[in-house]
A and B are shown apart, each in its own frame.
Chain A
């Protein structure tokens, strides 16, 4: 009898899911929510300081110490050689730009498509963009032979009438990364203004002084909100092509070069999708850590968000597999003898395990696990899968840069690459990323409160007969 009483659409589910599982349908009063975010920012346990001090030490030694030593000694202390003129520095550059991609993707694309689940974690993702780009920039500067002259890449008027070469992909890269860094910082700052104003009104001392300057006098009048929404609408659309162009241009560094394995026309979209693959996994990892370590975050970040991110990871993994196969297929079918030698070297060379590891981490593991909702909503499992995807994507870049450089058209020069000081420097950039993120989590509200509140206002539950229905009104 009870089975008959159930609506047909829900017949396959054993029970009615509680609509209040969703953040948007589980509203809290504004004052309480603001207080929760402020508490998450203020409540700092001794563990935070221990971890921060440790990371600071790692940054000091592995990043700035090792870098200074390398500047003094020359790049000989790194593992780069002929023919692998580019090594882990460039691997890390591409990797960090990839990480920085997902921030904008998650935030801007989901905003444009009005995907409601984005609301509580857009800021966490945007912070990743900015800090990831910092690491990418540092990695690319490390790799330069004479980093103290890197300002020569700026096209500035000078007495000697020297100009930069706009035909060089590295110049495009330099301009694209700078554009992206500026644009993503502005895009991070705009939706931060109302939250900074909220923090200003609820803090004292140096924090109040800081937030007063950063909030730009935002009071929350109707006119200010209209302007902010307008600006965000423009920015969210404008930053998407910038995001796609940046990683495409990074891929052109390789694709336009006369080298077997690099000279591939599909590298642009292949790199963009690869960036999203590692980046979305990294967003999920950061959210899991934030949720586990910061106060009140279990309210804002919920299994529904991990569920949505897990689905995105699975789809992107499929897209990556498609582009990988396409790239491989065309290169293999081409039958160029150098490309053949290179493909053989990828799979059966001394680092063949890396090639197979890449495929296992990037394709096999997501495909075999992420279809399952239980896996997607279990933070520990999702974290592990995200970590493996990032390892796999790092392998992919390692295969493209130093391993592919090992094989060229002059067999006399073939020689393997063994990393040197790149290893501590890479660890240093990772530590610096985490440290910057930790500091930021104590300085800015990590959850965009106003966006969550706006979403909760728009959502409501209505009764149609016996059925409870979610309705969303369009605020804008």
Chain B
């Protein structure tokens, strides 16, 4: 990761200057085919409701992960850019955290990731306004889960109700499962042992997840690549997601 010289007061996060963070992700946009399998898998894994056409068209889709695509130029000289899957960047100095009046948006000390405490959220939506990546989603309604969708809910993940904010957790339920397993066997979590739903289904293997504080891990190696860029790096948010772009 690029060395950052911006000093950020400690209260914004548990993050200390120069610390790499624990869990991180690398997304190779040159490999991404834009198939949206990650979006579907994320929705299955994390009990994300289906909002229907009208609400989705009005900007209320609940996906924690979206695949962005852009056009450059005017027709017919159009150049489409790479697909860009955007999820919570798990900022080291997250802008969503200090603005929550009730500490619903917090930094987990153990996993070093940004979490939303659903039970505590009162729905001011300030965190979403302050998120430069616009990756936080709000439960605008209690959407129905018609039969048989109610049977596929993941028991490891809370079902959220209307009026609260939510976002990508790096599939923290899978992290916990792997950590518990490793602890029971008296070892560290091995590289590649934790795979979030989006990385698991990616047919092009464009999404890689792992420990950033282990310099030998695959994700650390890839993050150091010359092709690596971070979204809106200039804001000093210390994102834990690196995009690989352009050969």
Contact = CB atoms under 8 A, between A and B. Distances in A.
B120 A152 contact: yes
Contact of A412 (B68, B98, B128): B68
Contact of B130 (A75, A162, A259, A418): A259
A85 B129 contact: yes
B224 interface: no
Contacts, number: 137
B102 interface: yes
Interface in A161-176: 162-165, 167-171, 174
B11 interface: yes
Contacts of B95: 257-258
Given A145-B162, A145-B164, A149-B122, A74 B139 contact: yes
B100 interface: yes
B103 A145 contact: no
B103 A163 contact: yes
A168 B98 contact: yes
Contacts of A86: 125, 129
A165 B163 contact: no
B138 interface: yes
A417 to B, nearest CB: 9
A145 B116 CA distance: 15
Contacts of B235: 258
A76 B124 contact: no
A257 B129 contact: yes
A145 B123 contact: yes
Interface stretch (A243-251, A361-369, A402-410): A402-410
A165 B142 contact: no
B137 interface: yes
B124 A145 contact: yes
A238 interface: no
Contacts of B121: 145-146
A74 B142 contact: yes
B245 interface: no
Nearest to B125: A85
A409 B134 CA distance: 8
A415 interface: yes
A465 interface: no
B75 interface: no
Contacts of A145: 121-125, 138-139, 162-165
Contact of B162 (A74, A153, A174): A74
Contacts of B139: 74, 145
Contacts of B102: 152-153, 162, 164-165
Interface in B45-92: 55, 58-60, 66, 68-70, 86
A174 B124 CA distance: 12
A81 interface: yes
B99 interface: yes
A408 B232 CA distance: 12
A411 interface: yes
Given A82-B134, A82-B138, A409-B132, A170 B124 contact: yes
Contacts of A159: none
A73 interface: yes
Nearest to B11: A167
A413 interface: yes
B81 to A, nearest CB: 11
A421 B137 CA distance: 20
Given A74-B140, A408-B132, A165 B122 contact: no
A86 B134 CA distance: 14
Contact of A75 (B66, B133, B138): B138
A150 interface: yes
Contacts of B132: 258-259, 408-410
Nearest to B58: A81
A423 B66 CA distance: 31
A415 to B, nearest CB: 4
- Most A CB contacts (10 A, CB to CB) among B125, B129, B130, B137 go to B129
Nearest to A405: B129
Contacts of A74: 139-142, 162-163
A257 B130 contact: yes
A253 B102 CA distance: 15
B59 A83 contact: yes
B163 A146 contact: yes
B141 A152 contact: no
Contacts of B130: 257-259
A257 B11 CA distance: 16
Given A75-B140, A171-B101, A253-B126, 15 more contacts: A73-B162, A74-B139, A76-B60, A82-B59, A85-B128, A86-B125, A143-B124, A143-B125, A145-B164, A165-B101, A168-B126, A412-B66, A412-B70, A413-B59, A415-B59
Interface of A: 73-76, 80-83, 85-86, 143-147, 149-150, 152-153, 162-165, 167-171, 174, 253, 256-259, 405, 408-413, 415, 418
20 contacts: A74-B140, A74-B162, A74-B163, A80-B140, A86-B125, A144-B123, A145-B121, A145-B125, A152-B122, A165-B103, A167-B12, A174-B101, A257-B126, A258-B132, A259-B130, A410-B132, A410-B133, A412-B69, A413-B134, A415-B59
Interface of B: 11-12, 55, 58-60, 66, 68-70, 86, 95, 98-103, 120-126, 128-130, 132-134, 137-142, 162-165, 232, 235
